[in-house]
């Protein structure tokens, strides 16, 4: 298994932030206590562990697909590069994104596979993919996408009801059959050449996720969060068999800020883990491209009240469709589009500390 190395445990001497553990089986059963725990996690930090999600086989298959894809020659992978126009689907080479205002470059390579292309395969909706992806569409990628969509849809349903929205409101903003930025991403971060300097360089710069819900799997440390009220980054310890879930910008906007899209980044793994390749896998649930991002004030008194009390209510009417929001954030991270620090600022979303890198 890529990235799984029992010789190098996550160290005990680095600042680590605890996350609440939510049991997906109990959520499915409608357990009130578990639902309250999910609500607490989603509103306070916006990150939680999810256990008993039942997706381990699909996740392992996806890591194999990712390893097969990253082993292709760079020249081959570059035929599928996402480009500089704000398209997310495709291959992203290492070093093509900025990680901060100064234009420091990222170190990760990844492959993004659009939900629309997966569900329509062998028809093509947005773009084509490397042979290693095509070969796995049916056996591996479609089952992973379907399971991830089902899990995120269940979680959205619970949040929908806790937000006081009419039944099915959030589901209608994320129907699988409509085109959207939903995608699977497999990420590889190579061990840094100089591990003494490693911690100085971000693998993925500080960001909030662009969409609604992220379903993340990693084996080695390196993910960090900046929790509200903290001045220093805190690691999230990977726990075997536990996914990490988090809220993204779209859900923060729909909920008038009640649900928290928290700042996070990826740095090289801590301690002895720094010697190994780091692999991670995400499924991002994002709203239909055509949805206008706005707080759902007319559908929930709770959301209306949150916006009324907000210090900066304008952030909940960004005047952008999900498609535009998403393209703007991707495009302005690309080094090729960089004019100066203003380009990085133009890539920002719901970060509570936009300046933090």
Q: Are 88 and 97 in contact (CB under 8 A)?
A: no
The residues pairing with 112 across neighbouring beta strands, listed in sequence order, are: 90, 185
**Contacts (CB under 6 A) with ligand AKG, residues 275-304:** 280, 282
Query: Contact between 209 and ligand AKG (CB under 6 A)?
Result: yes
Measured N-to-C along each axis, helices 32-44 and 142-162 cross at an angle, to the nearest 10 degrees, of 90
**Contacts (CB under 5 A) with Fe ion, residues 78-107:** none
| Long-range CB pairs of 327-333, under 8 A, 24+ apart, other chains included | 327/85, 327/86, 327/87, 328/86, 329/210, 330/82, 330/86, 330/87, 330/88, 330/210, 331/84, 331/85, 331/86, 333/97, 333/98, 333/205
Choice between 203 and 306, CB closer to ligand AKG? 203
Instruction: Tell me how far apart the alpha carbons of residues 215 and 148 are, in angstroms, rounded to a whole number.
Output: 7
Query: Contact between 249 and Fe ion (CB under 5 A)?
Result: no
Give the number of residues in contact with ligand AKG, rule: CB under 6 A: 11
Query: Contact between 38 and ligand AKG (CB under 6 A)?
Result: no
Query: Contact between 23 and Fe ion (CB under 5 A)?
Result: no
Choice between 263 and 293, CB closer to Fe ion? 263
Query: Contact between 27 and ligand AKG (CB under 6 A)?
Result: no
Q: How many residues does the chain have?
A: 357
Residues 19, 89, 202, 223: which binds ligand AKG (CB under 6 A)? 223
**What is the token pair recorded at 123?**
């028809």
- Name which of Fe ion, ligand AKG, none residue 330 binds, using a CB cut-off of 5 to 8 Å depending on partner kind: none
Query: Contact between 264 and ligand AKG (CB under 6 A)?
Result: yes
Query: Contact between 216 and ligand AKG (CB under 6 A)?
Result: yes
Choice between 130 and 222, CB closer to ligand AKG? 222
Torsion angle of the four alpha carbons 282, 255, 314, 173, in this order, in degrees rounded to the nearest 10: 70
Instruction: Tell me how far apart the alpha carbons of residues 88 and 323 are, in angstroms, rounded to a whole number.
Output: 11
Choice between 163 and 204, CB closer to ligand AKG? 204
Choice between 37 and 237, CB closer to ligand AKG? 237
Choice between 53 and 264, CB closer to Fe ion? 264
Using the contact rule CB under 6 A, the part of the chain among 72-80, 215-223, 316-324, 348-356 near ligand AKG is 215-223
Query: Contact between 209 and Fe ion (CB under 5 A)?
Result: yes
Residues 82, 112, 114, 218: which binds ligand AKG (CB under 6 A)? 218
Using the contact rule CB under 6 A, the part of the chain among 52-60, 134-142, 192-200, 216-224 near ligand AKG is 216-224
Using the contact rule CB under 5 A, the part of the chain among 63-71, 206-214, 267-275, 313-321 near Fe ion is 206-214
Choice between 66 and 256, CB closer to ligand AKG? 66
Binding mask 175-194 for ligand AKG (x = CB under 6 A): ----------x-x-------
Query: Contact between 22 and ligand AKG (CB under 6 A)?
Result: no
- Name which of Fe ion, ligand AKG, none residue 218 binds, using a CB cut-off of 5 to 8 Å depending on partner kind: ligand AKG
Instruction: Tell me how far apart the alpha carbons of residues 107 and 274 are, in angstroms, rounded to a whole number.
Output: 14
**Chain residues that interact with ligand AKG, rule: CB under 6 A:** 185, 187, 204, 209, 216, 218, 223, 264, 266, 280, 282
């Amino acid at each position: 298994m890529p990235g799984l190395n029992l010789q190098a445990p996550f160290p005990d001497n680095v600042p680590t932030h605890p996350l609440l553990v939510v049991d997906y089986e109990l959520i499915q059963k409608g357990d009130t206590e578990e639902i309250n725990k999910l609500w607490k996690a989603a509103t306070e930090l916006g990150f939680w562990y999810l256990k008993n999600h039942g997706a381990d086989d699909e996740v392992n298959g996806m890591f194999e697909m990712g390893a097969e894809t990253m082993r292709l020659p760079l020249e081959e992978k570059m035929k599928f590069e996402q480009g500089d126009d704000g398209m997310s689907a495709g291959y992203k080479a290492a070093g093509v994104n900025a990680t901060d205002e100064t234009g420091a470059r990222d170190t990760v390579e990844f492959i993004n596979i659009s939900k629309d292309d997966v569900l329509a395969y062998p028809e093509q909706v947005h773009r084509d993919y490397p042979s290693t992806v095509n070969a796995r569409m049916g056996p591996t990628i479609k089952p992973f996408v379907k399971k991830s969509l089902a899990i995120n849809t269940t979680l959205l349903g619970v949040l929908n009801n806790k937000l006081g929205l009419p039944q099915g409101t959030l589901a209608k903003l994320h129907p699988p059959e409509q085109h959207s930025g939903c995608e699977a991403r497999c990420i590889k971060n190579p061990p840094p050449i100089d591990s003494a300097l490693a911690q100085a360089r971000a693998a993925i710069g500080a960001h909030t996720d662009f969409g609604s819900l992220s379903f993340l799997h990693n084996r080695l440390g390196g993910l960090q969060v900046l929790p509200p009220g903290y001045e220093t980054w805190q690691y999230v310890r990977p726990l075997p068999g536990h996914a990490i879930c988090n809220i993204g910008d779209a859900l923060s906007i729909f909920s008038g800020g009640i649900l928290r899209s928290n700042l996070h980044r990826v740095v090289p793994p801590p301690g002895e883990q720094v010697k190994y390749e780091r692999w991670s896998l995400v499924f991002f649930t994002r709203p239909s491209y055509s949805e206008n991002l706005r707080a759902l004030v007319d559908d929930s008194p709770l959301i209306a009240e949150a916006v009324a009390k907000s210090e900066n209510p304008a952030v909940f009417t960004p005047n952008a469709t999900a498609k535009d929001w998403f393209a703007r954030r991707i495009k302005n991270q690309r080094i090729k589009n960089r004019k100066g620090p203003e380009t990085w600022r133009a890539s920002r979303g719901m970060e509570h500390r936009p300046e933090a890198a």
